[in-house]
Amino acid sequence: MDRLRVNNELDVYCGKNIAFDFACNYILEHSDRPVSGLPKVAIVSDRAVAGYYYNLFENQFIMHDIRPKLITVNACDTDKSLKTVLEISGYLSEFDYGSNDWVVALGGGGVIDCAAFAARLYRSGCVNFLAVPTTVYAMTDCITSDRAYVNLGMHKDELSCPMKIGAALCDTEFLKSVPSKYRANGYAAVIRYSVLGDTGLISDLSEPGDMREFLERVYKVRSDIRQYNPVLLTLGSELAFAIDAYNRFNNLAEGASLALSIYSALPEQGRTVMRRLYSSLGLPYEIDPKSSPMIRRNLESYLDGISEDRVRIADYEDGKWVVRDLSKPEAGKIFEERIKIIEAGDGN
């Protein structure tokens, strides 16, 4: 088992089977047992992950006389909502969870966001929170965020709150059973880090060899970018919001919106290389032009919703990634150029 430091507050433990051997021990080591006795543990997971792993994950707690409560939620992105957050919070309230008790998120990014949101809002964040991510996206992107996000209606990630994770356990065994639909989400997140700071990550994307080394490289490049200019980490997010409704309508893989948006922001030479990668990973790099009016309407709504007159976006200029401070019409022109690129597919 390896311990990776992501920032000054979050430790990530990485290794094979650590989720099934170490989660309970970590909780007991960080609970005030002499005063409050054994902690109560709520495990939030989606039905697919729970079906695969819950009994094995639960065993370690039972061996220490802890009977965790499983709270199952839907894994679909449309269910990453306040309704799900309130369901989790309602259980914590009903069984009087307190400062010695724990919420464990066992699942992908949506599960972690909803569980973290509930843990933060319930009694002003009095419960402890442990993340056990089961997808590449959750391991590389979700747990490193300082905020948890949920959707509001059809608006993706419209609501957020500070996220405080005690630790994260990244177990490589989970990656063997991730459905292809959810792998795309992780691919897109790593592609963003790769094009911004470590192109070598792309070669290890589909089948990371040493997961500890892979995660360490991802965390390092994210930290370097954040220190240099955190706005660069929004690369692709702006247009992804506008593309998202198109992807939901066409039932494309989660992460496809971000992948398309990143592709559209690349210089022509970069798009040539990325087309081959996208094809091998099952990611789209073009859209049906008939869907463009929907994307343009969503983009207009996105820009109108920004309260400031200026928009800061990540852009490729003079051989490097920079942050440009633009008026809304100027930003709209850049996004229009990007939409035309994914309409054409080949970047011409």
Contact 295, 243 (CB under 8 A): yes
More confident residue, 206 or 81: 81
Residue 91: predicted pLDDT: 95
Neighbour-count burial of 299, counting CB atoms closer than 10 A to its CB (0-12 exposed, 13-18 middle, 19+ buried): buried
pLDDT given at position 331: 94
Rounded Cα distance between 344 and 268, Å, is: 12
Measured CA to CA, the distance from residue 120 to residue 89 in angstroms comes to 10
* Mean pLDDT of all residues in 299-313: 88
pLDDT at residue number 184: 72
Residue 340 has which token pair? Answer: 């035309």
pTM over 0.85: yes
Query: What beta strand segments (E) does the chain contain?
Result: 2-5, 11-15, 41-46, 69-73, 102-107, 128-133, 147-152, 155-162, 167-171, 310-317, 320-327
pLDDT reading at 310 higher than 70: yes
pLDDT, residue 250, reads 65
Token digits of residue 218: 């991802």
The answer to whether residue 8 scores a pLDDT higher than 60 is no
- How far out from the chain centre does Cα 238 lie? 16
Other C-beta atoms closer than 10 Å to the C-beta of 234 total 14
pLDDT confidence of residue 251: 62
* Domains (range + CATH), the chain: 2-178 (3.40.50.1970), 182-344 (1.20.1090.10)
Cβ-contact 120, 162 below 8 angstroms: yes
Q: 197-211, 222-236, 288-302: which range is least confident on average?
A: 197-211
Q: What is the Cα–Cα distance from 49 to 179, expressed in whole angstroms?
A: 11
Instruction: Write out the two tokens for 77.
Output: 């992105």
pLDDT of residue 74: 86
Q: pLDDT at residue 347 above 50? A: no
pLDDT at 211: 80
Q: Residue 56 contacts by C-beta under 8 Å, 6 or more apart in sequence? A: 20
Instruction: Quote the CA–CA distance of 185 and 345 in Å, as a whole number.
Output: 20
When pLDDT is averaged across residues 333-346 and rounded to a whole number, the result is 87
pLDDT value at residue 254: 66
For tokens 């080394």, the residue is: 213
Give the pLDDT score at 177: 82
Structure confidence by residue, pLDDT tens digits, 143-164: 888 899 998 877 778 899 998 8
Rounded to the nearest integer, the mean pLDDT of the chain is 88
- The residue behind tokens 């200029």 is 317
